[in-house]
């Protein structure tokens, strides 16, 4: 998976409508408003801060900033499929991006559009989980932990990457040989086999976007407590 931080100014446009055959293209709005076109019907939607959208394989999509203010958002490709080469200006003729198919591709109903307030929400004693995306290639959960939360002990995942983008508060991550304190705007990624854990680094609640690629069954464990 690759995660990219984008800033689009008013009127700035993304690529022409396209599909990916083998990976999911997803967006999480941090500031402003992002307009997306999704599905065979070319449905136009406006995504406000906290909204998660995703185009699974063979779903036509594009995006732009149609507002009068700056839009800031995260873009995720899962798996990355060489998108980093494209961003860096390197030639990658094999990148998984294609013209819309003659039949229009998958319908809008197969895309993900989850405003924060509409997310499936799981309440635990010291934490709240808002499930924003549940796809075969990617899950996204907004997690909030109150100060009484004791933290997650260091652990590994053998089959997927576990990634975090801090939204609020100070988080102490165990990564590598020593703990690191991360504030809002910090991204932390634990590839398969990497030891990682986290806890509060201050007295206030912490909130972050958590991504699993591929999912690895994490949501099943979360839903069953």
Mean pLDDT value across the chain:
95
Q: If you ran DSSP here, which 8-state letter would residue 109 be given?
A: G
Whether the CB-CB separation of 172 and 180 falls below 8 Å is answered with yes
Q: Tell me the pLDDT tens digit for each residue of 164-188.
A: 999 999 999 998 778 999 999 999 9
Residue-wise pLDDT for 66-121, tens only, equals 999 999 999 999 999 999 998 998 877 889 999 999 999 999 999 999 999 999 99
pLDDT at res. 224 = 86
Give the rounded percent of residues in the chain with a pLDDT score beyond 90: 88
Report how far residue 224's alpha carbon sits from residue 191's, in angstroms, rounded to the nearest whole number. 25
191, 212 Cβ separation under 8 angstroms? no
Question: Tell me, what's the pLDDT at 64?
Answer: 98
Q: Please, which residues bridge with residue 44 across strands?
A: 37
Beta strand segments in 56-205, E: 61-64, 71-78, 112-114, 120-123, 127-135, 138-145, 152-155, 161-168, 171-175, 178-182, 187-190, 196-200
What was the pLDDT predicted at 216?
87
Distance CA 92, CA 72 (A): 26
């Amino acid at each position: 998976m690759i995660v990219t931080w984008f800033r689009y100014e008013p009127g700035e446009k993304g690529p022409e409508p396209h599909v990916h055959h083998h990976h999911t293209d997803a967006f999480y709005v941090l500031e402003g408003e992002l307009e997306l076109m999704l599905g065979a019907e070319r449905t136009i939607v406006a995504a406000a801060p906290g909204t998660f959208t995703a185009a699974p394989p063979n779903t036509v999509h594009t995006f732009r900033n149609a507002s009068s203010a700056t839009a800031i958002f995260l873009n995720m490709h899962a798996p990355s499929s060489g998108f980093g080469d494209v961003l860096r200006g390197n030639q990658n003729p094999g990148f998984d991006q294609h013209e819309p198919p003659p039949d229009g591709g998958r319908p809008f109903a197969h895309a993900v559009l989850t405003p924060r307030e509409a997310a499936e929400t799981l309440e635990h004693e010291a934490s709240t989980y808002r499930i924003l995306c549940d796809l075969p290639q990617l899950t996204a959960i907004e997690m909030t932990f109150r100060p009484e939360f004791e933290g997650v002990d260091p652990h590994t995942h053998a089959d997927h990457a576990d990634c975090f983008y801090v939204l609020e508060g100070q988080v102490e991550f165990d990564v590598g040989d020593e703990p690191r304190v991360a504030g809002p705007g910090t991204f932390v990624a634990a590839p398969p086999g990497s030891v990682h854990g986290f806890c509060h680094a201050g007295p206030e609640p912490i909130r972050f976007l958590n991504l699993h690629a591929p999912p690895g069954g994490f949501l099943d464990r979360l839903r069953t407590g």
